[in-house]
Amino acid sequence: MIRVAKPKNARSKRALEKRQAREYEAAKTAIFVRGPHSSQRLNVALTELNLLKKPDAISFNKKNEALPFEDTSSFEFWSSKNDASLFMFGNSQKKRPDNLTWVRMFDGQVLDMLEMGVVDAKGMAEFKGVARPGVGMRPLFHFSGPQFASPTDATTSMVAGAEGTEGDPTGAYQQFKSMLLDFYRGEELKTNQIALSGLQHVISVTAAPSDEGSNGKPTGNGAGDSLADLYKAAGLTPNGTMITSTSSATVTSPPNTLIHFRVYTVQLLASGSKIPRVELQECGPAFDFQLRRRRPASIDMLNQALRRPKTQAEKNRQGKEGAKKNIETDDMGDTVGRIHVGKQDLSGLQTRKMKGLKKHLDPNGSDDEEDEEEIEMDDMTMYSDVDDEDEDEMDDDDDEEDGEDEEDDDDEEEEEQQAPSKRRRS
């Protein structure tokens, strides 16, 4: 496992946070690598598959010496440098001509690999006068054949192709189906966020029998008495070590396993109703693949790769065990709960003590009419007290006014008496 160093600055910290698991993952990046030996048929396959993967594809221009089933260090290095988890390696040899290897990574290590031969290849340029899908569009997938069907009680490892022997080709078909969906599924979206106009092409994969073996020659159903078969029968790897749950051995697919890969454009035509009429037209590329060797994923690593981070609804959910009832998460991410309360006894509830609501002192209680009369009498006495106080205040005001008038009269009389004396002096 590649050791991940702790971030030393904010820039490296942001880069590591982008690589962490998210609720809705972005599209995976695929790297297309050419080996030291290639052919025209293999170059067409790498180029056309690269065009279907764009813009999430990286193509190496130089040829690279690599052996996926013997040494995976090169793929681990490229994965860490380019933040890519998918590889497609093409190499042509005398033993395995036109060989195409699909590699899938997890946590800096190779998760599983699938090897197939390119029997026939046609590019998009050979299909004239056909509309091609746009770059970055999400395709629809169609798998035809009983080999691709999964039973209702299928386990996760069975769906991913981690199970199956050399005599059982179901595991190879299931692994190719899982890899193909992982390659071209694009970015994960929420429900009801896929536009109908964005569905422009369909990838159709059909399982068909073939009369040729993995090397292009007719083969029979031999018992498999090679040294590698004897090792596998004894539960050992070619190096002599025991096969454990954390390590997976290379499995050779049975002969007569041919797969037809076709791409069709979707045409929405008028139908006289709201639902359009759909027609498919082949636009290329078109390939015929033959399954060869494969290395399925180990059960332990597969379980770790299939883990998903908790959603916001699961984080807000209270408790750790079981599903909580009457607890939901709204569109804003807030937890909303519903509480059912039983019938309460309100007789002993203490309320605000008001004068009009006080009970009578009689322990036997009184009638409502008597209580109303008492309330009316209290109101009358209250109003009478207020009236008496108002009258007293008015009398006091009148007395003060009378006193002021008398003082004014006395002043006028004094002035009149002083006036004749002033005249005499003058």
| pLDDT beyond 70 at 96 | yes
What pLDDT score was predicted for residue 323?
A: 62
CA distance 1 to 246: 13
What mean pLDDT is predicted for residues 197-210? 85
pLDDT above 90: percentage of residues in the chain: 32
- Please indicate, yes or no, whether the overall pTM of this predicted structure exceeds 0.75: no
Alpha carbon distance 169, 27 (integer Å): 29
Radius of gyration of the chain from its Cα atoms, rounded to whole angstroms: 45
Is it true that the peptide bond before 55 is cis, omega within 30 degrees of 0? yes
Compute the CA torsion angle 295, 299, 303, 304 (nearest 10 deg).
Answer: -70
Span 262-271, average pLDDT: 90
Say what the pLDDT of residue 220 is: 41
Residue 390 pLDDT > 80: no
pLDDT digits (tens, 9 = 90+) for 15-25: 888 777 777 77
Condensed to tens digits (0 to 9), the pLDDT of residues 145-171 reads 888 887 766 676 666 666 655 556 678
pLDDT at 159: 65
How far is C-alpha 360 from the geometric centre of its chain's CA atoms? 68
pLDDT tops 50 at residue 219: no
Q: How confident is the model at residue 214 (pLDDT cuts 50, 70, 90)?
A: very low
Confidence band for 227, pLDDT divided at 50, 70 and 90: low
What's the rounded mean pLDDT across residues 212-233? 46
Condensed to tens digits (0 to 9), the pLDDT of residues 312-347 reads 666 665 555 566 677 777 766 677 888 888 888 888
Of residues 179, 145, 153, the one with CA closest to residue 295: 179
State the DSSP string of 180-211.
HHHHH--S---TT---GGG--EEEEEEEE--S
Between 63 and 346, the more confident residue is 63
Q: Decide if pLDDT at 309 tops 60.
A: yes
